[in-house]
Amino acid sequence: MQLADVVATRSNCIRRSVGAVLVQDKRIIATGYNGTPHGVKNCDEGGCSRCTDREKGKLKSGEREELCVCIHAEQNAVIQAALHGVSTKGASLYTTIPPCSQCAKILINAGIKQVFYRKDPHFTEGIKLLQSAGVQTIIKLD
């Protein structure tokens, strides 16, 4: 989990810094943090108008999420594994917050078997979805 915290420091999102680490057979296979896609201006440089509007109070939490161009940390970790030809089947994910429902769907179909996360009362739907698919979810207290 400490490595996920370090990975989160790479985030360029102005709303929240999130880190994720994929592990298989006690080996790190990929990491991910939230931010804009390659080639798109960083969020903290104005690259994501939705994040900017949320920061200015123009949008409420959960409103117009389709406008956000930032990629979630969990998504980036799975993408990095795919980009480098590393299978995620049977892997465990450590993430600094619970995955959202969109990330949960990706993790399920990527074959992730365990998700370690810190408890956050705002993110519950993704955990429910993971559990319904038989993915083991474990709250980390550190």
Look up 74 and say whether it is catalytic: yes
- The whole-angstrom separation of Cα 137 and Cα 117 is 8
Nearest residue to 72 via CA among 42, 44, 99: 99
State the number of CA atoms in the 13 A half-sphere of 135 facing the CB.
29
The one catalytic residue in 63, 65, 74, 125 is: 74
Nearest Cα residue to 8 out of 96, 68, 74: 96
Catalytically active residues, by annotation: 74
